[in-house]
Structure 1
Amino acid sequence: MTRTIFCQKLNKEAEGLAVPPYPGEKGQWIYNNISKEAWEAWQKHQTMLINEKRLNLMEPDTRKYLTEQMDKFFANDEVDQADGYVPTSD
């Protein structure tokens, strides 16, 4: 059975995540407030940032940067794009 939450990113009722995707308070907040659809959109954006900016996930600064970008993404603030990236209209 799926869980429904009010998604802060999409501003609507949507299917919730099955488990918290992060440890600790941040993971619990995401679990309670971010839908599966919004989480998948973040993962796609995060992957694009990692690949296009050639980020090293072993670096603490990289992890901090991605966490900051994730917070902005879920708050519907402007997030970084890859240099020269032109979004497609899906």
Structure 2
Amino acid sequence: MTRTVFCKKYQQELEGLSAAPFPGPKGEDIYLNVSAKAWGEWTEHQTRLINEKHLNMMDMQARKYLTEQRDLFFSGEAFDKAEGYVPENKDK
């Protein structure tokens, strides 16, 4: 049986993550309140932001920026988009 959570992004019960994505309170909060679907979407969006904005993950400012964007993404607030990204047309 899969574990479900009430996803704060989608506001419904969805399949949860199998483990916290990283240690600490933030990782535990994501494990308890974010669905596997929302986490997967975030990781794709995070990759686009890193690539488009040429973020250096060794830079604490870049890491702080991504943390802020992640919180906005999951809360349903406006978050930064990758400017050059055009979604793939899956209907083809």
Pairwise same-fold verdict (TM > 0.5): yes
**Aligned pairs, how many?**
90
Q: Name the amino acid aligned to 1:11.
A: Q
Structure 1: runs of 5 or more not aligned: none
In the alignment, what sits opposite 1:59? 59
Q: Does 1:13 align with 2:17?
A: no
Tell me, what secondary structure is at the counterpart of 1:63?
helix
What's the TM-score, normalizing by structure 2? 0.89
Structure 2: runs of 5 or more not aligned: none
Shift of 1:18: 0.4
In the alignment, what sits opposite 1:26? 26
Q: Is the 8 A contact 2:48 2:85 kept in 1?
A: no
1:37-76 map, 5 Å: 37-76=37-76
The list of structure 1 runs, each at least 4 consecutive aligned residues, that deviate by more than 3 angstroms after superposition, is: 84-90
Q: Name the amino acid aligned to 1:60.
A: M
Q: Name the amino acid aligned to 1:82.
A: A
Percent identity at matched positions?
56
Tell me, what secondary structure is at the counterpart of 2:64?
helix
User: Which deviations, in whole Å up to 9, do the C-alpha atoms of 1:37-69 show, x marking residues without a partner?
Assistant: 000000010000001111110100000000000
Q: Name the amino acid aligned to 2:73.
A: F
Q: CA RMSD in A?
A: 1.5
Mark the CA change 1:77 to 1:87 in structure 2 (over 3 Å): closer, same or farther.
farther
Shift of 1:84: 3.9
User: Which deviations, in whole Å up to 9, do the C-alpha atoms of 1:22-49 show, x marking residues without a partner?
Assistant: 2111111000000000000000100000
CA distance in 2 between partners of 1:82 and 1:58 (Å): 20
